[in-house]
Amino acid sequence: MQNTKEKVTASDVVIEKDKTAKGEKYNKYVKDMTPTHNIFKNILNAFLVGGIICTIGQGLINLYASWGAGEELSASYGTLSLVFLSVVLTGLNIYPKIAKFGGAGSLVPITGFANSVAAPAVEFKKEGQVFGIGCKIFTIAGPVILYGIFSSWVLGLIYYILLQLGVV
């Protein structure tokens, strides 16, 4: 790990004969040569956008609650509304602009998930209802759905075992 501190130069890369070592050196060298986004600015933007999305969500929940929906029902309506808004903004090509600015702030809330499902649906519509939308709608969200369900199954199993043992 000490090597990461040392700066690798182009000359180190060129004279290295071993292919694996050359690759490692070149990758280190490339890392030094490649500019990156300002992480503090990005984090700030992410908190701002994520915060705004969540505030809108809370506002909606309060609104539905004031209209007489129960606690659980207004939370569900709130989620549904955010998904709807995100899909509409995706269709209008506004959501990518929000995501470009907000990064993880727009990716982590449910709106990001909705965007990742709506975007392939728009893109692959040309390839047909079955092989286009049908097969490819979850190309981005698929892993989240699969492993989300899988991990909830595992947790459920653990909970069941603990329940049987009388721990919980």
Partner 1 sequence: MEDKKSNKMAGKQSILFANPPVIIAGSSVVGKKEGEGPLASFFDQIEEDPMFGGTSWEDAESRLMKRAAELSIEKSGFRQEDIRYLVGGDLLGQLIATSFGIADLEIPIFGVYGACSTMGESMALGAILVDGGYADKVLAVTSSHFAGAEKQFRFPLAYGNQRPLATTWTVTGSGAVVIGSGDMGEETAGKNNKNGVVKIKGVTVGKIVDYGVKDSLNMGACMAPAAYTTISQNLKDLNVLPDYYDRIITGDLGYVGKDILIDLLKQDGYDISSNHMDCGIEIFDRNTQDTHSGGSGCGCSAVTFTGYIMQKLTRKEWKRVLFVPTGALHSTVSFNEGNPVPGIAHGIMVEAC
Positions touching partner 1 (CB under 8 A) are: 10-11, 13-15, 19-20, 22-24, 26-27, 29-30, 33-37, 42, 90-91, 93, 95-100, 103, 106-107, 112, 115-116, 118-120, 122-124, 126, 139-140
Closer to partner 1 at the Cβ: 30 or 161? 30
Minimum Å distance from CB 161 to partner 1? 36
Which value, to the nearest 10 degrees, does the dihedral of the CA atoms of residues 6, 10, 14, 18 take? 30
Instruction: Give one DSSP letter per residue of 8-54, joined into a string.
Output: PPHHHHHH--SHHHHHHHHHHHHHHHS----HHHHHHHHHHHHHHHH
Note the Cα 29 to chain centre separation in Å: 29
Minimum Å distance from CB 102 to partner 1? 8
Closer to partner 1 at the Cβ: 35 or 68? 35
Closer to partner 1 at the Cβ: 74 or 111? 111
Residues 6+ positions from 50 with CB-CB distance below 8 Å: 102, 104, 105, 106, 108, 109
Minimum Å distance from CB 48 to partner 1? 14
Closer to partner 1 at the Cβ: 15 or 162? 15
